[in-house]
């Protein structure tokens, strides 16, 4: 079996650990290099918001469009602060989910969505995604496969 390659030096490399999957959606923990404790999520909407907040905090990858909402937003760089890595890539990758583990590298935020690659750690499978929705579908499909096995 070939070894899946991942850009371990990517500043926004994330590890998504799925611990439960129910009709209400997947829940678990999100790890990245800028926190020591995991970010817990109970739904994929929370997960996407947490990931987007990290991208805005570190300024990578940069947005190609301004987010639209019904409320007034602060200036695009108002959230950005000096981000300091507090954990290593090895520590990040050491974590695993009860159901599944996904290592995600979002390379671009273009056309109001994300593009990048995701590795399903347990199966050593890598897929590229062209949108956040496609990323969610890849994760959901992997969870379906896990539950049917």
pLDDT of residue 3: 59
pTM of the model: 0.88
pLDDT by position in tens, the chain (length 149) = 455 777 888 999 999 999 999 887 899 999 999 999 999 999 999 999 999 999 999 999 988 777 767 887 666 555 556 789 999 999 999 999 999 999 999 999 999 899 999 999 999 999 999 999 999 999 999 999 988 87
Q: Is residue 2 part of a domain?
A: no
Q: Is residue 34 part of a domain?
A: yes
* Residue 114 neighbours by CB distance under 10 Å: 23
Calculate the alpha carbon distances from 11 to 20, 78, 124 in Å.
Answer: 27, 20, 22
DSSP code at position 51: H
Q: Is residue 130 part of a domain?
A: yes
Number of compact structural domains in the chain = 1
Q: Is residue 78 part of a domain?
A: yes
**Burial call 4-39: b when 16+ CB within 10 Å, e when fewer:** eebeeebbbbbbbbbeebeeebbbbbbbbbeeeeeb
Q: Is residue 135 part of a domain?
A: yes
Which residues constitute the domain of residue 67?
14-148
Q: Is residue 79 part of a domain?
A: yes
| Interatomic CA distance for residues 93 and 76, integer angstroms | 31
Q: Is residue 3 part of a domain?
A: no
pLDDT of residue 77: 55
């Amino acid at each position: 079996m070939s070894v899946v390659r991942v850009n371990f030096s990517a500043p926004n490399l994330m590890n998504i650990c799925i611990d439960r999957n129910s009709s209400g959606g997947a829940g678990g923990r999100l790890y990245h290099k800028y926190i020591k404790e995991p970010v817990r999520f109970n739904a994929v909407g929370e997960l996407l918001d947490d990931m987007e907040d990290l991208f805005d905090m570190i300024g990578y990858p940069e947005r190609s469009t301004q987010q639209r909402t019904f409320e007034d937003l602060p200036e695009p760089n108002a959230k950005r602060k000096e981000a300091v890595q507090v954990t290593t890539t090895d520590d990040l990758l050491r974590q695993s989910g009860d159901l599944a583990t996904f290592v995600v590298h979002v390379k671009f935020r273009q056309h109001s969505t994300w593009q990048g690659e995701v590795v399903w750690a347990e199966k050593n499978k890598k897929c590229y995604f062209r949108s956040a929705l496609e990323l969610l579908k890849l994760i959901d499909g992997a969870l379906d496969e896990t539950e049917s096995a």
